[in-house]
Amino acid sequence: MRTRLVGLLVLLLTAAALSVPQQPSLAAHKWQQLMLSRNGHHWKPDLRMPLFKRAVVLVPGQERRRTFYVRNQSESAARLGVTVRVTGSKGLIERPRFWMAVRIRHGRWQRISHTGRNKVAHVRVVKGRMVPVTVRVRLMPRALNRTMDDHFRFVTRVRLTSLKKR
């Protein structure tokens, strides 16, 4: 009876330890295998300048689109995650006649429809592969006056995660 109880406790503790979400080890902080480019030719660890110009003013019928490129330069396949964080919106991002979306490669557009964190994609990228990420914003031609003078900010976060455990 006593042996069983002890065995059960050991089993429970081990299972609990294994079920804790695995955090990257300290060594992983130096794993810089993600490179970015505006044109697919010149690569840097980040884009340095904002994706669009500092402040874009839109009127109905206007559209803005920018593409940047992400490359997996690690030694193996990895998973690419893209999220968009929207802040400061007074409601523009939620309006039906305002449309913001992100597309990975040539897949379908993932709409960014609310303030906060918007998960866009999680795709597998083979070693050395370049992936285009396109951000598109459009104010529909029939947008009403209530869309006037509203604004928001956004940042796009790309994360490359190795598929192999270290």
C-alpha distances in angstroms, 140 versus 28, 63, 130, 137?
44, 8, 32, 10
Smallest separation, CB 65 to other proteins (Å) = 12
142 counts as binding other proteins under rule CB under 8 A: no
DSSP secondary structure letters along 104-121: ETTS--EE--SSEEEEEE
Residue at 83: amino acid letter: T
Q: Does 52 bind other proteins (CB under 8 A)?
A: yes
CB of 47 vs other proteins, minimal distance in Å: 5
Least CB distance to other proteins at residue 17 (A): 3
Q: Give Cα separations from 138 to 11, 29, 33, 61 (angstroms).
A: 56, 37, 33, 7
139 DSSP β-pair partners: 98
Q: Which of residues 143-162 bind other proteins (CB under 8 A)?
A: 143, 145, 147-162
In the complex, least distance from residue 107 CB atom to other proteins, rounded to whole angstroms? 18
Restricted to residues 94-113, the positions that interact with other proteins (CB under 8 A) are: 98, 100
Residue closer to other proteins by CB (options 35, 108) is: 35
Two structure tokens written together for 124: 């597998």
Within 8 A by CB and 6+ apart from 142, the residues are 60, 97
Considering the complex, what minimum distance in angstroms separates the CB of residue 125 from other proteins?
12
CB 133 within 8 A of CB 102: yes
Is 120 near other proteins (CB under 8 A)? no
Q: Which of 39, 41, 46, 106 binds other proteins (CB under 8 A)?
A: 46
Among the listed ranges 27-35, 103-111, 115-123, 124-132, the one in contact with other proteins (CB under 8 A) is 27-35
